[in-house]
Chains A and B, each alone.
Chain A
């Protein structure tokens, strides 16, 4: 009688432990990086409004993500007293496994009412104006115009704000998805 009870108890324990360990999912043997919010490349294209063949492109690139090798940041070279049309040409996550995952710009365009691009020139005679609007008639900043003034050097601070549910046209709400400062030369 007693022995049976002990046996029963022990069987119960073993069954419980098996049941619990059965919930384990299969685990990877080797660590795989899967940073789904990673951005490894951003390029901006400036096209001379009067001459479509006159194009200046500037690129930020960090193929191995945070840490590792530091990002390379190009210099934006513009001509003085020229009006440009600018656009964000590429936002990529080159480590993603699918093409859709790689092309982040496509998703930003689709969900434009959650995103805001902010441009802050410093020390350089450059004025950017965002011309595109989302479905709520609030600026997005993927496209716009850039007026280069007299010859000067400085920087352009580019920020991509992610503002799901809180976008109101101002920079403060939400959080930053991309933030880089490009050297700019107008000469």
Chain B
């Protein structure tokens, strides 16, 4: 039953080889474009046939195809930012593979560094990227923290160590994270469960804003975060880099080492190893340290690659291990504890501390293991076939403050295993269409030990999708659809806290179609306008169906509802962007209508009074997962103006309104409006110091004034303004180019509380933080 729709979607895949060729002037040129030095593929480059004027862009894998050519000689002109333009003559009979290499151009312009990371073929909808210097300036931070550097991306925080990315007002189950092409699967439903990804592995981090359901999964209704390592290099000689980071606020130290080589003389094989260690002590508000807010983290990753002609294969394995302390002053055991803590505003003196690295209860320990194997084969006449398998194991243990006899025990253990198989085919152009057809299978199993929050479950999801793009001159069209079917069985006791209660095994079956259609138009002067409409859906998550109990630190009794239906979203977005010229930037507007939006609602009795759930720790406010119709409307904008080659100014703005249409009120935990202004000055290159720049920035976050005080435990905090400053430079050491930067966050040591930080109830946010970052390359390639 599951298989049938896949078969239908797969049909075009088998027809491809039979449809494509023959007749006069049906000649085709195709091939791959590579960097001459390291043989890496170059996506997004322009290839023009001088004689006909036709031009194409290399796809995300650096391949190109030019159709409908007659017999004869043609001149190809290949242009690409950061590379020397190349012209070559080809003699075409019928079909010909022409692989091209480009040589990087010599670095130019004082202070302006030409990025060696290549721009990818962008999805039609809005996306933003951290790479090069912008990524280096976030080294040492967690993934959630790093992403705050992207305009329009916020973080829901639980104290200083736990941040989850918020895209277009959504987070958790609605924002997917892909780590090296694998959909990250942990216990992402908890707002104090941070993503288990080491950002040091990333060569670039891309955030796709808005629904991207067809490509990445039907539940990507808020957005997608793509953490991508730099491509493996297939050239001989060991080299790598060392990153060192120190931060003053929490005494954080981070060390990351990466090394890679291609061991064989034909350079068909390549490997890379990477390891990270992070340690932090107590974090400091402007006036005192917060007791028990340190962390320890060690991560490792191994990549192996094989690349020979039409064959490519790689293996990626990573291990992420963290121990996160939770601020002692947030450890509220009951509603009255919480109310007392909120009424105090400041933590008790005994919860103020000095800078030390002790981690006591409460804390979390999380391990995440990932193995991925991928192979792809280029069928010269049809396209590239890709097969990928991934395995993930996520262990999460939460330790509360307990009696001495339980000192060795965790209170919650969650153990989630995920297997994913992907097969997808990127076909050569058919009738001018470029695209991809694929199927995905996901299998998941969850166990717990200790106290009950969510049940055991197993689930199987089968998906099939097709996404195609068509381009003619200035006009691009993109369209696709996807079908998902998810089957799930939970295993629990009817009363989960009573071992004599009978077992029940409720089953669920969800299926729906998602779709997307978009268009982009390249206006004169390099402006690009785009519009996208996409439909996605999300089956209710396990916590939304079955949670029953008090979740740590929240002092609220949550209840799931097993009768919840799937959420379905319809996302409209329009945007305008420009990547070259004095004025660059992008502006995006979106409207996301979500029917059956699932959220946690405080329960009121008939007379409008809050309902309390009586437990051994007194009454807890009762919350229930309910469905409403919601509308998210917002805008993200980034504008950069380069006054001279040295001096530029940037403005960023983001806003979102999330409205519960049925109850006529705004939703809680939605980011407040945020304004950022940055001025950058690039110093002329000296004899020693190069690429030196100074940045000053100011960020203003408004008060989240749209939620009523009654919707939250405490009124939203007042708005705040923070100043940051940074200096970065590069200098040669024994012929290697070392990079160093010094940055200060919250320069004026202002006291503030952020609406999205759940610990704002208990203490102010962090004070001044000075960060020193050092990047040291080593090895054969300088």
B572 located at the interface, meaning its Cβ lies under 8 Å from any Cβ of chain A in the complex: no
Given contacts A28-B449, A67-B548, A68-B497, is CB(A162)–CB(B557) below 8 Å?
no
Q: Say which size band chain A's interface belongs to.
A: 35 or more
Given contacts A36-B402, A175-B331, is CB(A24)–CB(B393) below 8 Å?
yes
A53 located at the interface, meaning its Cβ lies under 8 Å from any Cβ of chain B in the complex: no
A150 located at the interface, meaning its Cβ lies under 8 Å from any Cβ of chain B in the complex: no
A175 to B615, CA, bound (A): 15
B317 located at the interface, meaning its Cβ lies under 8 Å from any Cβ of chain A in the complex: yes
Picked from A31, A39, A64, the residue with its CB within 8 Å of the CB of B455 is A31
B306 located at the interface, meaning its Cβ lies under 8 Å from any Cβ of chain A in the complex: yes
Instruction: Tell me the A1-38 residues at the B interface (CB within 8 Å).
Output: 2, 5-6, 9, 12-13, 16-17, 20-21, 23-24, 27-28, 30-38
Q: Which residue of B lies closest to A25 (CB)?
A: B415
Given contacts A5-B264, A33-B452, is CB(A62)–CB(B371) below 8 Å?
no
> Residues 152-174 of chain A: 1 if any B CB is under 8 Å from the residue's CB, otherwise 0?
00000001001010101000111
A180 located at the interface, meaning its Cβ lies under 8 Å from any Cβ of chain B in the complex: yes
A17 to B559, CA, bound (A): 38
Picked from A23, A34, A71, A101, the residue with its CB within 8 Å of the CB of B405 is A101
B406 located at the interface, meaning its Cβ lies under 8 Å from any Cβ of chain A in the complex: yes
The answer on a CB contact under 8 Å between B401 and A34 is no
B373 located at the interface, meaning its Cβ lies under 8 Å from any Cβ of chain A in the complex: yes
A95 located at the interface, meaning its Cβ lies under 8 Å from any Cβ of chain B in the complex: yes
A100 to chain B, nearest CB (A): 7
Q: Which residue of B lies closest to A158 (CB)?
A: B618
The answer on a CB contact under 8 Å between A27 and B350 is no
Picked from B304, B549, B614, B616, the residue with its CB within 8 Å of the CB of A39 is B616
Given contacts A31-B492, A37-B402, A66-B549, is CB(A176)–CB(B618) below 8 Å?
yes
A177 located at the interface, meaning its Cβ lies under 8 Å from any Cβ of chain B in the complex: yes
The answer on a CB contact under 8 Å between B615 and A33 is no
> Residues 32-76 of chain A: 1 if any B CB is under 8 Å from the residue's CB, otherwise 0?
111111111000000000000000000000111111111100000
Binds A, one of B89-97, B334-342, B519-527, B769-777: B334-342
B233 located at the interface, meaning its Cβ lies under 8 Å from any Cβ of chain A in the complex: no
A65 to B614, CA, bound (A): 10
A20 to B406, CA, bound (A): 30
> Residues 722-745 of chain B: 1 if any A CB is under 8 Å from the residue's CB, otherwise 0?
000000000000000000000000
The answer on a CB contact under 8 Å between B402 and A178 is no
A2 to B393, CA, bound (A): 33
Picked from A20, A40, A95, A168, the residue with its CB within 8 Å of the CB of B499 is A95
The answer on a CB contact under 8 Å between A162 and B393 is no
B495 located at the interface, meaning its Cβ lies under 8 Å from any Cβ of chain A in the complex: yes
List the A side residues contacting B491 at CB < 8 Å.
30-31
The answer on a CB contact under 8 Å between A16 and B317 is yes
> Residues 465-509 of chain B: 1 if any A CB is under 8 Å from the residue's CB, otherwise 0?
000000000000000000000000001110111110101000000
The answer on a CB contact under 8 Å between B406 and A36 is yes
Instruction: Tell me the A90-138 residues at the B interface (CB within 8 Å).
Output: 95, 100-101, 104, 107-108, 110-111, 114
List the B side residues contacting A23 at CB < 8 Å.
369, 393
Given contacts A36-B411, A104-B403, A176-B333, is CB(A71)–CB(B452) below 8 Å?
no
Q: Which residue of B lies closest to A32 (CB)?
A: B499
Q: Say which size band chain B's interface belongs to.
A: 35 or more
The answer on a CB contact under 8 Å between A100 and B405 is yes
The answer on a CB contact under 8 Å between B498 and A68 is yes
A16 to B615, CA, bound (A): 47
A30 to B369, CA, bound (A): 25
A71 to B344, CA, bound (A): 31
The answer on a CB contact under 8 Å between B448 and A172 is no
Given contacts A65-B498, A178-B616, is CB(A20)–CB(B317) below 8 Å?
yes
Q: Which of B313, B333, B559 has the most CB of A within 10 A?
A: B333
The answer on a CB contact under 8 Å between B391 and A33 is no
A71 to B615, CA, bound (A): 7
List the B side residues contacting A38 at CB < 8 Å.
497, 616
The answer on a CB contact under 8 Å between A64 and B403 is no
Picked from B308, B550, B618, the residue with its CB within 8 Å of the CB of A2 is B308
A62 to B89, CA, bound (A): 85
The answer on a CB contact under 8 Å between A179 and B404 is no
The answer on a CB contact under 8 Å between B456 and A31 is yes
B264 to chain A, nearest CB (A): 7
List the A side residues contacting B340 at CB < 8 Å.
172
A5 to B448, CA, bound (A): 41
The answer on a CB contact under 8 Å between A66 and B393 is no
Picked from A20, A31, A40, A100, the residue with its CB within 8 Å of the CB of B448 is A31
A14 to chain B, nearest CB (A): 9
Given contacts A27-B415, A33-B498, is CB(A12)–CB(B304) below 8 Å?
yes
B332 located at the interface, meaning its Cβ lies under 8 Å from any Cβ of chain A in the complex: yes
Picked from B304, B333, B393, B549, the residue with its CB within 8 Å of the CB of A20 is B393
A166 to B350, CA, bound (A): 7
Q: Which residue of A lies closest to B451 (CB)?
A: A35
A87 to chain B, nearest CB (A): 20
B617 located at the interface, meaning its Cβ lies under 8 Å from any Cβ of chain A in the complex: yes
The answer on a CB contact under 8 Å between B391 and A179 is no
A27 to B414, CA, bound (A): 11
Given contacts A162-B333, A172-B348, is CB(A31)–CB(B452) below 8 Å?
yes
A102 to chain B, nearest CB (A): 11
List the B side residues contacting A95 at CB < 8 Å.
497-499
The answer on a CB contact under 8 Å between B498 and A64 is yes
Given contacts A13-B373, A175-B331, A176-B617, is CB(A66)–CB(B336) below 8 Å?
no
B56 located at the interface, meaning its Cβ lies under 8 Å from any Cβ of chain A in the complex: no
The answer on a CB contact under 8 Å between A21 and B391 is yes
Q: Which residue of A lies closest to B499 (CB)?
A: A33
B778 located at the interface, meaning its Cβ lies under 8 Å from any Cβ of chain A in the complex: no
B363 located at the interface, meaning its Cβ lies under 8 Å from any Cβ of chain A in the complex: no
> Residues 416-428 of chain B: 1 if any A CB is under 8 Å from the residue's CB, otherwise 0?
0100000000000
A5 to B269, CA, bound (A): 9
A60 to B489, CA, bound (A): 36
List the A side residues contacting B264 at CB < 8 Å.
5
The answer on a CB contact under 8 Å between B497 and A65 is yes
List the A side residues contacting B503 at CB < 8 Å.
30-31
List the B side residues contacting A110 at CB < 8 Å.
404
A-B contact pairs, 7 of them (CB 8 A): A13-B371, A13-B373, A16-B317, A20-B369, A64-B498, A67-B496, A166-B350
What would 4 more interface pairs be, CB under 8 Å, given A31-B503, A172-B348, A175-B331? Answer: A12-B315, A62-B615, A66-B613, A180-B616
Residues of B within 8 A of A (CB): 264, 268-269, 304, 306, 308, 313, 315, 317, 331-334, 336-337, 340, 344, 348, 350-351, 369, 371, 373, 391, 393, 400-406, 409, 411, 415, 417, 447-452, 455-456, 491-493, 495-499, 501, 503, 548-550, 557, 559, 613-618
6 nearest A-B pairs in the assembled complex, by CB-CB distance: A179-B618, A175-B333, A65-B497, A176-B333, A176-B334, A68-B495
